[in-house]
Structure 1
Amino acid sequence: MIYWRLSGFYWFYFAALGALVPYWSLYLKSVGFGPVAIGELMAIMMATRIVAPNLAGWLADHTGRRMAVVRCASFLAPVAFAGVLLGHGFGWLALVVALFSFFWNAALPQFEAITLNHLGPRVHRYSRVRLWGSIGFILSVSGLGFLFQRYAAGLLPLVVLALLFGIGVTSLLVPDGAAPPRKGAPRPLLEVLGRREVAALLVVCFLMQVSHGPYYAFFTLYLEDHGYRAGLIGLLWALGVLAEIGVFLVMHRLLPRFGARSLLLASLALAALRWLLIGAFPRHLLLIVFAQTLHAASFGVYHAVAIHLVHGLFTGRHQGRGQALYSSVSFGAGAALGSLASGYLWAGLGPSAAFYGAALVAGVAWLVAWRWIPAGGVPGA
């Protein structure tokens, strides 16, 4: 059944993400790196998303062999990541991270396009497939939290390597999805990008991921510095993604009822609130728990709406490049800048300042969405 094949890929992909994002900074700290170097290495991992998805999208759109591109990238990623086992110098790790993340980041946007093509007219049910990625993330992040409470973070590269190979194996089980039939000549890509709502959406996605920079790069270290044990930190990460799953289960009802624009505005406002709470009240466990439940909005609602809008705005042969642009602009450029800036803010003004800055950026994103994304001019809004 295609549902389980698609879900299996998401499970391994986000289980690997659940090992890397929360604990990569912990691993880097264990081998001697400070906050600025950690922020720079995290930024490299994000920055390859600027280039890799677009190259993969161009190749997939022009060859028509989208799944072959996904498989190639999925198997090259663990081969490159194995270099982590060979050295701990900054230059060496920067090279390894750049190569590994290039292939890793190339795969997902093309797989998103394949998933949407398999779903066909039931595209609003994307979240029911994607939720298995969230389940993989939860099991990974919570399990590793307790593991690193007892054993050294030096085990992380071996765990990540095993999960990356799992991505490659599951990619072999998924066929190419039939692209929707083209109606007339496709609009030039530059013409699509020139539309006000398209440009505004990409700016909003960029700013949203800039605001996530301190969270993805330093949330684990932030909690550790305030006395939280690794097991509890893992559970807090898992709680956020559990809330995300709850949203994914009902997004196929929320989108038709409330519209994409309203949901996007709500997710941006709640993201700003989340970063303020984390920055101001790190020692108040109940408030941190509440802030983690807001991941349902700051990622779950936001991502489902963004995927929905990108699929509607980039049609026909531009689907692969549309998903690639979304990934590059937001999870690439936005996340890279957010990680880099948060490292400097952490070192210069203190950890809380990084989260206050994130709240400010999310607020600016809300203003852009409110002003330039029209309720009636965006598919599904």
Structure 2
Amino acid sequence: MPTAEFRRYALFYLGYYGALGAYTPYIGRWVSANGHGAYAVGAMLALWYGGRILAPPTWARQVARSSAPGHWLVAGCVIALAMFAGFLQFDHGAMLFVVMGAFALFFNAVMPQFEAMTLNALGTRNHDYGKIRMWGSVGFLLVAASYGWLLDRLGNDAFVWLTLPWVALTAAAAWLHRADPPSPAPEAGAPREQLWRRPGVRALLGTAMLMQLGFGPFYVFYTLQLQAHGHDGFAVGLLWAIGVLCEIVMFWQAPRLVQRFGAHRLMAACLLATALRWILVAFFADSLAWMAVAQTGHAVSFAAFHAGCMRRMAELFPARRDMASAQGMLYGFSGGIGGVLGAGMAAFFWQHGGGAAAFVAGAVCALLSLAVHLGTQRRTSTAPAAET
């Protein structure tokens, strides 16, 4: 891919994940600072994950019918920008959640579309995808690491103003793709009902959903848990940065680990390590050193586990024509259903038992996920052979 083209695609990832680097760690802090309780904080994240369930398939159908998909990309990003700007006016009451729901729908809709556009542009050089996607991690890292310190000095009201430029950068980057050609129509695969019935599929989806459920307290209340135990904005940003850096390193190493240990054993180790990670956050949040250790666990909790899931998906769905539907199921169960339920669970336990109860609940979910994974391991390991 020519350098100019590379920059055009990398810029979108930089802006999009830069915005998420502000939203995911700090939306809870902003909502809480405006006087809302745990349920309101949880609802903001639940709406975000709900958008992951509803928006991508609906948006994809509309884009597939269009001869100008770039126009849809621009429209989605501009509407998301307008909705996020609505937080400047509506930070209380029902309109807060209306604005959040609309923002979640459009911002979640555009990324799967752009992923398809990126892979289409790369063609046979799809191995270069990681070099482009890495700029998303760079954006997330820069923002997550610095915004805690900035909010300490500028005040929590600055959150929306600080985040708007990143959403605007995403819209500007989308404009550079307004004339991109449509992606080739994918080859029709097996109906989703048939994919669902394959041996091992439901076990994998259940494992991924429970893992995401356990991440609920982290995504919703991790920043507030650190603040409640005396850590300032600089420390909070540093800890988020440690997690993202470890994630980036692990994404480079994960293929070797999967090759050496296999997806099943790697995923089991990741689930056990994740349970221990949440226990550390629950009971040792006062210690910056222990929190740094816990954040290194993001390498296995997120990156290595994701790599293991992708290997299992490739084993369960060897036909390329089935992969799009299969990925949609995984995305809906883990990032969608698991995300919504995880946010609700986190809010309940935070409200009634504080941070310790919320993160212990997250650890229990990780152990339940491990139980599902191990309980079906023998059967799922033979699934690909049964299919072929």
TM-score relative to the length of structure 2: 0.87
Residue 80 of structure 1: aligned partner: 83
Residue 342 of structure 1: aligned partner: 346
352 and 170 in structure 1: CA distance in 2 versus 1, 3 angstrom threshold: same
Match of 1:327 among 326, 331, 334: 331
Residue 272 of structure 1: aligned partner: 275
Task: Describe how 1:143-158 pairs up with structure 2 within 5 A.
Answer: 143-158=146-161
Match of 1:369 among 357, 367, 373: 373
Residue 169 of structure 1: aligned partner: 172
Verify the 8 A CA contact 1:81 1:161 in the aligned structure 2.
yes
Residue 212 of structure 1: aligned partner: 215
Deviation at 1:315, TM superposition (A): 5.7
Secondary structure of the residue aligned to 1:87 is coil
Secondary structure of the residue aligned to 1:196 is coil
Q: Distance in 2 between matches of 1:3 and 1:131?
A: 12
Do structure 1's residue 46 and structure 2's residue 49 form an aligned pair?
yes
Letter in 2 for 1:216: Y
Secondary structure of the residue aligned to 2:200 is helix
Quick one: percent identity of the two aligned structures?
Answer: 33
117 and 148 in structure 1: CA distance in 2 versus 1, 3 angstrom threshold: same
Residue 244 of structure 1: aligned partner: 247
Do structure 1's residue 285 and structure 2's residue 307 form an aligned pair?
no
Q: Distance in 2 between matches of 1:64 and 1:154?
A: 42
Task: Describe how 1:1-381 pairs up with structure 2 within 5 A.
Answer: 1=2, 2-61=5-64, 69-118=72-121, 126-174=129-177, 175=180, 182=187, 186-307=189-310, 309-310=312-313, 313=317, 319-372=323-376, 374-375=380-381, 377=383
348 and 90 in structure 1: CA distance in 2 versus 1, 3 angstrom threshold: same
Q: Distance in 2 between matches of 1:266 and 1:257?
A: 13
Q: Distance in 2 between matches of 1:173 and 1:308?
A: 34
Verify the 8 A CA contact 1:61 1:318 in the aligned structure 2.
no
Q: Distance in 1 between matches of 2:191 and 2:300?
A: 33
93 and 307 in structure 1: CA distance in 2 versus 1, 3 angstrom threshold: farther
Q: Distance in 2 between matches of 1:108 and 1:123?
A: 17
Q: Distance in 2 between matches of 1:187 and 1:69?
A: 28
Deviation at 1:111, TM superposition (A): 2.9
Q: Distance in 2 between matches of 1:4 and 1:252?
A: 26
Deviation at 1:90, TM superposition (A): 2.5
TM-score relative to the length of structure 1: 0.88
Considering only CA atoms, is the larger Rg found in Structure 1 or Structure 2? 2
Verify the 8 A CA contact 1:278 1:355 in the aligned structure 2.
yes
Q: Distance in 2 between matches of 1:25 and 1:287?
A: 22
Deviating more after overlay: 360-369 vs 52-61: 52-61
Q: Distance in 2 between matches of 1:10 and 1:134?
A: 8
Deviating more after overlay: 112-121 vs 364-373: 112-121
Deviation at 1:303, TM superposition (A): 2.7
Please list the CA deviations of residues 225-271 of structure 1 after superposition, one character each: whole Å capped at 9, or x if unmatched: 11000111011011100100111222343344443333322322221
Q: Distance in 1 between matches of 2:73 and 2:98?
A: 22
Deviation at 1:49, TM superposition (A): 1.4
Q: Count how many residue pairs are aligned between Structure 1 and Structure 2.
A: 377
- Structure 1 segments unaligned to the other structure (5+ residues): none
Deviating more after overlay: 195-204 vs 13-22: 195-204
Letter in 1 for 2:350: W
Q: Distance in 1 between matches of 2:67 and 2:383?
A: 30
Letter in 2 for 1:269: L
Deviation at 1:31, TM superposition (A): 1.3
Q: Distance in 2 between matches of 1:169 and 1:311?
A: 35
90 and 330 in structure 1: CA distance in 2 versus 1, 3 angstrom threshold: farther
Deviation at 1:120, TM superposition (A): 5.3
Verify the 8 A CA contact 2:255 2:307 in the aligned structure 1.
no
Letter in 2 for 1:44: L
Secondary structure of the residue aligned to 1:153 is coil
Secondary structure of the residue aligned to 1:209 is helix
Please list the CA deviations of residues 314-362 of structure 1 after superposition, one character each: whole Å capped at 9, or x if unmatched: 8656555444433332222211111111111011122101111101111
Secondary structure of the residue aligned to 1:301 is helix
Deviating more after overlay: 276-285 vs 312-321: 312-321
Q: CA RMSD in A?
A: 2.8
Verify the 8 A CA contact 1:46 1:335 in the aligned structure 2.
yes
